[in-house]
A and B are shown apart, each in its own frame.
Chain A
Amino acid sequence: MEQSAYKPGEHPNLPPPSNTVGPIAWVRANLLSSPTNIVLTVLSVWFLYEIIPATLEWAFLDAAFTGESRDECRAKAGGACWAFIGERFNLFTYGFYPADERWRIDLTFVLLCVALLPVLWDRCPFRKYGLYFACAFPFVAGWLLLGGFGLTPVGTDEFGGFMLTLVIGVTGITFSLPIGIILALGRQSDMLIVRVFSIWFIEFFRGVPLITLLFVASTMLNYFLPAGTTFDLLLRVLIMVTLFASAYMAEVIRGGLQALPRGQYEAADSMGLKYWTSMRLIILPQALKISIPGIVNTFIGLYKDTTLVIIIGLLDPLGVGRSSLADTKWTGLSNEMYLFVAIFFFISCFGMSRYSLYLEKKLATGYER
């Protein structure tokens, strides 16, 4: 009998059939499993074939990296003209900040990275001191950027470019989280008046577009201040952006507060903890953990919304780019400019969303299998 070539238990491990493992099987299962799938695969391969080589050609192979004007670029190559970005790079980064003082922006950026490190990375050496520094950072940054106390004062109308984006973004993010937490707690409060005011505030700011709030800030906020007070435009914008973001933040955190089982609140009460102690030690750590994805989404939204300031005349990268396009030397290079700005925003926002995923994984306390 042929089957008895091996004794029971001594049959060698044979390799799996070649049509279930390996690249061919993978292609079969993932790309060609049904007629619809075959059609979709063919269509998307064709699409990629049309797009990728053309894009590469435009952006790299047939692109001009040096040149003094658009015409010079065009004479060299038919694709993108990156010389435009190269020449305007300082404007894109620093805005109209005086050239001699630009080291202050660089230093602020380095300090920002130093301050973020202990906040974002919990096994950072000397984390405690790092956190103290992070708390002091906004003041240091304000001093470095605005000047005074020994440094040449620089007006906020000279802020611009990526630096302006970072100023608005970081300020908004820093202040909208605590205000959002307070609003969310206010909305959940037992006290009628506090609750009603919180709801009004949140619903008002969520109900109107940010651009109208910025218009309010730029056109009529001065009416509400005592006669004669002047109020810096950038500061007005910062306040509006922060309030706007904190209304969204409040709703995200309210979601987290509501998702907590009632027992957590009762347990905190039965321990005899006072309101703020129970919030600080029991409720908020859990609620904030649940709402991390939403919080980071709000951050990303705020960061992207900083571009709207160009509509009231501040020059963020998009504004710098648009005014550079008006220069006859570089006119008509909008694709290069938009791509450049888009890459900047993509890197920052994608980075934030990846970090949020990492944080979620790190804080997951094992309810999932």
Chain B
Amino acid sequence: MSETVAVPPQRNAISRLWNDKESRSVIIQVITISLVFAFMAYIIHNAVVNLQAIGKGFSYNFLWQPSSYDINQHLIEYDSRSTHFRAMLVGILNTILVAICGIVLASIVGFLLGVLRLSKNWIINRLAYCYIEYVRNVPVLLHILLVHGLIVHAFPVPRQAISIGDVTFMTNRGIFSPKPIYEPLFLVVIALFLLALAFMWWFRRYAQKVQDETGQHYPVFWIGLGTVIGVPLVFFFLLGSPITWDVPELKGFNFAGGMVVRPEFIALLLALSLYTAAFIGEIVRAGILGVYYGQTEASYALGINRGRTLSLVVIPQALRIIVPPLTSQYLNLMKNSSLAVAIGYMDIVATIGGISLNQTGREMECMIIVLTLYLVMSLIISMIMNWYNRHIKLVER
């Protein structure tokens, strides 16, 4: 038998390498990696040369010099003699504060909107729709500026403050309210509260176990409310209310003493959470509609009432659809909080990336800090939400 297989034409080495899948993949990767490294080396080289040319080194020593500017909202001790590092910490805390408050508020309003959007009541349904469409199609920066303008213009000057029971005052410089001063005995109340929380954590698991084994049902929610709120409250009064209040007073043109919530904070919080709530509302609606209606019918067929059907059947399944996009909305809210700089709320961008940068002229160092901080915060939120997502995810084979 003679071999009739055609001899493949001889091709040169390069073409053979290129036409082989594995070697081609190696070649592409080598080219990519060398291009990327060459690019990095090029821009780092440029940066070094440029910095040398204008006589700036690359160092973080400026962080330990006095910042010499004031920050009106600081959660930790801070004044103009504090270091830039401390200013940065104040900025981080302010960002975290508005992000956490915003996430909580946006989730509550968003779930409410989602439910209203599904309401069978035509007017409510349309109102929610109009709200969502208006908010989603207008830039968040405009919302922030608008809300800030409304707050500053609509509230009176401190002299004509709107007073609530003569202890809380609403003015265009913020909302002034009494500040609690804790006496040592208050520690007992806090300790009791923590103990009650620990007890409830144990009791919830115990009640679940008993229910799994015997079918007996404890009213966990009401018992929990009683222990966590009631017990510390009773002890609070038994110990003779170990709290005094520092009430704000009008002095000159402004209020002194007490606690103040600044208008910038209120404006940013309201604008961010109402904006994000519109997106969350649509996500919630999609999640609830995404649960097959047969699930609800099956639940009714088992004689489970409406409320329990929602909380035990529909919502747990809807959450699986809701949580991933919800995570990115939370991330967006956190990142949008950087727009605070437009209305003068002192967050990370306004402190270390704004005034510190302009005072020290350390653009490179400051921007690296700001970018890193945001990356770390994004990572933390993603990690928490991914953990939660795994927790509620359908357990498959």
Contact partner of A204 among B357, B364, B375, CB < 8 A? B375
Known: A197-B36, A211-B349, A300-B137. Contact between A223 and B46, CB under 8 A? yes
Is the CB–CB distance between A207 and B374 below 8 Å? Answer: yes
Is the CB–CB distance between B374 and A227 below 8 Å? Answer: no
Give the chain A neighbours of B122 by CB distance below 8 A. Answer: 30-31
B262-273 interface bits toward A, Cβ cutoff 8 Å, 1 = contact, 0 = none: 000000000000
Is the CB–CB distance between B28 and A194 below 8 Å? Answer: yes
Is the CB–CB distance between A191 and B342 below 8 Å? Answer: no
Give A209 to B373 CA distance when docked, in angstroms.
11
Is the CB–CB distance between B145 and A191 below 8 Å? Answer: no
Q: Which of A1-45 contact B (CB under 8 A)?
A: 29-31, 33, 37, 40-41, 44-45
B316-331 interface bits toward A, Cβ cutoff 8 Å, 1 = contact, 0 = none: 0000000000000001
Give A346 to B29 CA distance when docked, in angstroms.
45
Give the chain A neighbours of B28 by CB distance below 8 A. Answer: 191, 194
Is the CB–CB distance between A193 and B142 below 8 Å? Answer: no
Minimum Cβ distance to chain B for residue A166 (Å)? 14
Minimum Cβ distance to chain B for residue A126 (Å)? 33
Is the CB–CB distance between A318 and B353 below 8 Å? Answer: no
Is the CB–CB distance between A208 and B374 below 8 Å? Answer: yes
Is the CB–CB distance between A342 and B142 below 8 Å? Answer: yes
A195-225 interface bits toward B, Cβ cutoff 8 Å, 1 = contact, 0 = none: 0010000001011111110011001101111
Known: A207-B374, A226-B46. Contact between A318 and B341, CB under 8 A? no
Is the CB–CB distance between B378 and A224 below 8 Å? Answer: no
- Asked whether any CB of chain A lies closer than 8 Å to the CB of B8, the reply is no
Is the CB–CB distance between A30 and B371 below 8 Å? Answer: no
Is the CB–CB distance between B32 and A193 below 8 Å? Answer: yes
Is the CB–CB distance between B137 and A346 below 8 Å? Answer: yes
B4-35 interface bits toward A, Cβ cutoff 8 Å, 1 = contact, 0 = none: 00000000000000000000010011001100
Q: Is the interface of B mostly helix, strand, loop or mixed?
A: helix
Is the CB–CB distance between B46 and A215 below 8 Å? Answer: no
Give A61 to B370 CA distance when docked, in angstroms.
49
- Asked whether any CB of chain A lies closer than 8 Å to the CB of B297, the reply is no
Minimum Cβ distance to chain B for residue A356 (Å)? 13
- Asked whether any CB of chain B lies closer than 8 Å to the CB of A135, the reply is no
Is the CB–CB distance between B29 and A219 below 8 Å? Answer: no
- Asked whether any CB of chain A lies closer than 8 Å to the CB of B190, the reply is no
Which of the candidate stretches A80-88, A107-115, A302-310 sits at the interface with the other chain? A302-310
Contact partner of A224 among B46, B146, B341, B342, CB < 8 A? B46
Contact partner of B375 among A208, A300, A342, CB < 8 A? A208
Is the CB–CB distance between B336 and A350 below 8 Å? Answer: no
Contact partner of B29 among A30, A44, A193, A342, CB < 8 A? A193
Known: A30-B120, A40-B121. Contact between A212 and B371, CB under 8 A? yes
A201 and chain B: residue at smallest CB distance: B36
Contact partner of A350 among B133, B141, B146, B378, CB < 8 A? B133
Is the CB–CB distance between B123 and A44 below 8 Å? Answer: yes
- Asked whether any CB of chain B lies closer than 8 Å to the CB of A345, the reply is yes
Is the CB–CB distance between B32 and A197 below 8 Å? Answer: yes
- Asked whether any CB of chain A lies closer than 8 Å to the CB of B363, the reply is yes
Is the CB–CB distance between B127 and A345 below 8 Å? Answer: no
Is the CB–CB distance between B50 and A31 below 8 Å? Answer: no
Contact partner of A190 among B25, B149, B349, B353, CB < 8 A? B25
Contact partner of B379 among A207, A209, A305, CB < 8 A? A207
Is the CB–CB distance between B29 and A194 below 8 Å? Answer: yes
Give the chain A neighbours of B142 by CB distance below 8 A. Answer: 307, 318, 338, 341-342, 345
Q: Is the interface of A mostly helix, strand, loop or mixed?
A: helix
Q: Chain A: interface residue count, which band?
A: 35 or more
- Asked whether any CB of chain A lies closer than 8 Å to the CB of B134, the reply is yes
B43 and chain A: residue at smallest CB distance: A224
Is the CB–CB distance between B353 and A215 below 8 Å? Answer: yes
User: Which of B123, B134, B349 is packed against the most chain A CB atoms within 10 Å?
Assistant: B123
Known: A223-B46, A227-B46, A318-B142. Contact between A211 and B29, CB under 8 A? no
Is the CB–CB distance between B342 and A311 below 8 Å? Answer: yes
Minimum Cβ distance to chain B for residue A320 (Å)? 13
Is the CB–CB distance between B367 and A220 below 8 Å? Answer: yes
A216 and chain B: residue at smallest CB distance: B367
Minimum Cβ distance to chain B for residue A51 (Å)? 10
- Asked whether any CB of chain A lies closer than 8 Å to the CB of B261, the reply is no
- Asked whether any CB of chain A lies closer than 8 Å to the CB of B119, the reply is yes
- Asked whether any CB of chain A lies closer than 8 Å to the CB of B335, the reply is yes
Is the CB–CB distance between B371 and A345 below 8 Å? Answer: no
Is the CB–CB distance between B138 and A220 below 8 Å? Answer: no
- Asked whether any CB of chain A lies closer than 8 Å to the CB of B139, the reply is yes
- Asked whether any CB of chain B lies closer than 8 Å to the CB of A192, the reply is yes
Give A227 to B32 CA distance when docked, in angstroms.
26
User: Which of A47, A215, A307, A322 is packed against the most chain B CB atoms within 10 Å?
Assistant: A215
- Asked whether any CB of chain A lies closer than 8 Å to the CB of B96, the reply is no
Is the CB–CB distance between B123 and A41 below 8 Å? Answer: yes
- Asked whether any CB of chain B lies closer than 8 Å to the CB of A349, the reply is yes
Is the CB–CB distance between B33 and A307 below 8 Å? Answer: no
Give A191 to B32 CA distance when docked, in angstroms.
10
A309-323 interface bits toward B, Cβ cutoff 8 Å, 1 = contact, 0 = none: 011000000100010
- Asked whether any CB of chain A lies closer than 8 Å to the CB of B124, the reply is yes
- Asked whether any CB of chain B lies closer than 8 Å to the CB of A171, the reply is no
Give the chain B neighbours of A204 by CB distance below 8 A. Answer: 375
Minimum Cβ distance to chain A for residue B299 (Å)? 20
B137 and chain A: residue at smallest CB distance: A349
Give A191 to B122 CA distance when docked, in angstroms.
53
Known: A44-B124, A211-B349, A212-B338. Contact between A305 and B374, CB under 8 A? no
Give A215 to B357 CA distance when docked, in angstroms.
11
- Asked whether any CB of chain A lies closer than 8 Å to the CB of B312, the reply is no
User: Which of A191, A212, A225 is packed against the most chain B CB atoms within 10 Å?
Assistant: A212
Give the chain B neighbours of A209 by CB distance below 8 A. Answer: 335-336, 338-339, 349, 374
Contact partner of B349 among A215, A224, A307, CB < 8 A? A215
3 tightest Cβ-Cβ pairs between the two chains A and B: A349-B137, A209-B335, A304-B139
User: 7 new A-B pairs (CB below 8 Å) besides A191-B25, A215-B349, A350-B137?
Assistant: A37-B120, A197-B36, A209-B349, A215-B370, A216-B371, A225-B43, A225-B46
Listed by A's residue number, 8 A-B pairs whose Cβ atoms lie within 8 Å are A31-B121, A209-B336, A212-B349, A215-B367, A227-B53, A318-B139, A335-B149, A338-B145
- Chain B: residues with CB nearer than 8 A to chain A? 25, 28-29, 32-33, 36, 43, 46-47, 49-51, 53, 119-124, 127, 133-134, 136-142, 145-146, 149, 153, 331, 335-336, 338-339, 341-342, 349, 353, 357, 363-364, 367, 370-371, 374-375, 378-379
